[in-house]
Amino acid sequence: MVWNFANETTAKAARPFYGKPRYLSGFDVEKLLTGVHSELKYLQANTVIRIAHEHADRRLQFRRSKLRWRSSGGSKRSLGWIPFRHPQVKFVKGAIRFCGKRFRVFDSYGLDKYELRSGAFSQNALGEWFVNIAVKTATKAPDMPRRAVGVDLGLKASATTSDGQILAAGDFYRGIERKIAEAQRRGHKRHAKRLHQRAANRRNDALHKFSTAMVNNYGAIYVGDVSSLKLAKTKMAKAVLDSGWGMLKTMLHYKGHQAGSLVEVVNERFTTVTCSNCGQHTGPRGLRQLHVRGWFCSACETDHDRDINAARNILARGLTGPSAGTNFKEQKHHVH
């Protein structure tokens, strides 16, 4: 209701029946909505204000005076979204208190340890409700000196670092694939959807943990761009892979920015076939050799793990250049 009011008002102001068009800011709309929360029973002033400002931000983002209406029904119904600010919510005895009501939550984080900030109740496509809250934590000073690291992105959004750390990410669907097939066979669409969601949650969780560990431990992070060789190997849709890789890159980028680490994309051409010790092209070549995990350099007699070796080459390339020099924003437009 609040969103649609804001939408209608700003649209009318931008194209009035007479007079000059006016472009209303979030603050203008906020003023017009004064007192509305006392008319609507379970709504507080902060929620109304945040909706008005979110609407204004989206109008700016999409450069429109009018956005889509939010609707409660139909195939294109909007998912529930109720924003709040921190004095409005309290976490008491396993439940969130909001507008005089208690909402029991599954609290896997130990929320009573934190000071709650702003957030929102939101709904997913299955109709389940979640609460997303920003919390205040102690800021951690970066541990100096901070080293540099190379990251080789592998299949199924896995990643290997030049220090030999591995994001084993191929297992998000482990134990779930079979269940999904079964659910689909029986026509249980909703259950299948839920299982896909579970795999996606696992992936997101792993990506977050990995990227956070990276920016906490390293001052410079060099990531290989994704080669078409890897894509050719897989039967999985390119989009699925890209999203995992893209998410990891995005996370590294923004977390690195916050932590003050350098994050760069490096051309990973020849990083698999080059020996990171002597620089000769003695490594496994071509598609047929992709299954080779470890190999032996015939020139300098060093044992290599394929992915760690590649990550070391990426690191060396990042440190010495010719710097690919591309940051993520530019990289996004590249076609592999």
Residues that bind Zn ion (CB under 5 A): 275, 277-278, 297, 299-300
Query: Shortest approach of Zn ion to residue 277 CB, angstroms?
Result: 4
Query: Shortest approach of Zn ion to residue 305 CB, angstroms?
Result: 14
Rounded CA separation 48/37 (Å): 7
The answer to whether the beta carbons of residues 148 and 219 sit under 8 Å apart is yes
Rounded CA separation 17/303 (Å): 78
CB closer to Zn ion, 83 vs 283: 283
CB closer to Zn ion, 134 vs 299: 299
Query: Shortest approach of Zn ion to residue 272 CB, angstroms?
Result: 13
Q: Would you say the C-alpha torsion 151, 154, 156, 158 has a positive or negative sign?
A: negative
CB closer to Zn ion, 190 vs 281: 281
The answer to whether the beta carbons of residues 270 and 225 sit under 8 Å apart is no
Strands 89-92 and 101-104: unpaired
CB closer to Zn ion, 125 vs 292: 292
CB closer to Zn ion, 181 vs 299: 299
Helices (H), the chain: 2-14, 26-32, 36-39, 45-62, 177-185, 189-217, 228-233, 238-259, 306-320, 328-331
Name the amino acid, one letter, at 79: L
CB closer to Zn ion, 252 vs 297: 297
CB closer to Zn ion, 234 vs 298: 298
Query: Shortest approach of Zn ion to residue 275 CB, angstroms?
Result: 3
Helix (H, G, I), strand (E, B) or coil at 107: coil
CB closer to Zn ion, 249 vs 304: 304
DSSP 240-282: HHHHHHHHHHHHHHHHHHHHT-EEEEE--TTTTTS-TTT--S-
Query: Shortest approach of Zn ion to residue 309 CB, angstroms?
Result: 9
Query: Shortest approach of Zn ion to residue 109 CB, angstroms?
Result: 47
Query: Shortest approach of Zn ion to residue 308 CB, angstroms?
Result: 14
Report long-range pairs for 95-102 (Cβ below 8 Å, ≥24 apart).
96/131, 99/42, 99/43, 99/44, 101/42
Query: Shortest approach of Zn ion to residue 301 CB, angstroms?
Result: 7
The answer to whether the beta carbons of residues 261 and 221 sit under 8 Å apart is yes
DSSP 146-176: PEEEEEEE-GGG-EEETTS-EE--TTTTTTT
